[in-house]
Every structure is written in structure tokens, then in C-alpha cells.
């Protein structure tokens, strides 16, 4: 798949995972890995951007004597998912149009 397209999809994939409940780095990767292969060096910038754009917030909690950072989706993040699904519907319509050879 085209890299740019994949990157755009990954943002929403991460948000989708978080919409089910807060999570942390390692768990996000393993939850996603059954559907999309994502490396740590890809995930970190995504989480950073999501935090910058206000789609997630973070909190720190202790786990086994060390600090763990949890990512929590915000209202804006949930809105972003809705936006994506609407865009995708348009995309699918265009896809169908092209698949039919330029006519519907």
C-alpha cells in the first residue's frame, strides 16, 4: 500500500484501538499487530502527533515499580474517527465508480 495512505490510516487505527479503552505503547502495538503490522518507531511519532492535535491525552501510572504512560482518546479523537468513516464512504463510492469503468 502507498506509504502516505498507510500513514493516514495508521493514525485512525490507533485511535480506534484507544476508543475501546485507554492503552499503552506495547499493548497498542500487539492489539494492532493482528490487523496491521506497525513498528515501535512508527507508533511513537503517531502517538506524539495525536497528542499534539488533541486527539489523545496521557496519564502516568505505576506498574511493577516503573512508570507506564497510558493514552486516552478525547472527544476530538472520537470525532476524527467519525470523519474518517465518512471520508472512506466517499472513497468507496469513487472506488465503485472506477470499478464499474467510469459509470454507475
Partner 1 sequence: MKLKEKWLKGLNRALYKMPKDERLKATEFYLELIDDKIESGEGEASVIESLGSPQDVAKKILDENGIKYNRANKNVGEKIVETASKLPLWAVIIIGFFAVAVGLPVVIGLGAALLSVVVTFWAVFGAMVGSAVGCVVAIFVSIILGIVGFVSNGVAFVGACILGLGVTMILAVGFWYLATYTTEFTVYVCKKLGKGGKKA
- The least CB distance from residue 41 to partner 1, in Å, is 5
Q: Which grid coordinates are listed for 104? A: 454507475
**DSSP label at residue 55:** S
- How many beta carbons lie within 10 A of that of residue 61, not counting itself? 10
Cα–Cα distance for residue pair 89/76, rounded to 1 Å? 20
Q: Where does residue 32 rank: exposed (0-12), middle (13-18), buried (19+ CB within 10 A)?
A: middle
Nearer to partner 1, 25 or 78 (CB): 25
- The least CB distance from residue 66 to partner 1, in Å, is 6
- The least CB distance from residue 53 to partner 1, in Å, is 13
| Binding residue (CB under 8 A) for partner 1 from 25, 32, 57, 74 | 25
Give the x/- contact pattern for partner 1 in 35-74, rule: CB under 8 A. -----xxx-xx-xxx--------------x-xxxx-----
Cα–Cα distance for residue pair 51/71, rounded to 1 Å? 9
- Binding residues for partner 1, rule CB under 8 A, total 18
Residues that bind partner 1 (CB under 8 A): 24-27, 29, 40-42, 44-45, 47-49, 64, 66-69
Amino acid at each position: 500500500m502507498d506509504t502516505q495512505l498507510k500513514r493516514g490510516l495508521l493514525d485512525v487505527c490507533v485511535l480506534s484501538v484507544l476508543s475501546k479503552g485507554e492503552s499503552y505503547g506495547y499493548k497498542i502495538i500487539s492489539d494492532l499487530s493482528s490487523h496491521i503490522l506497525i513498528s515501535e518507531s512508527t507508533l511513537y511519532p503517531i502517538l506524539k502527533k495525536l497528542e499534539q492535535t488533541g486527539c489523545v491525552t496521557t496519564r502516568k501510572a505505576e506498574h511493577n515499580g516503573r512508570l507506564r504512560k497510558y493514552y486516552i482518546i478525547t472527544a476530538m479523537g472520537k470525532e476524527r474517527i467519525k470523519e474518517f468513516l465518512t471520508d472512506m464512504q466517499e472513497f468507496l463510492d469513487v472506488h465503485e465508480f472506477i470499478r464499474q469503468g467510469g459509470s454507475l
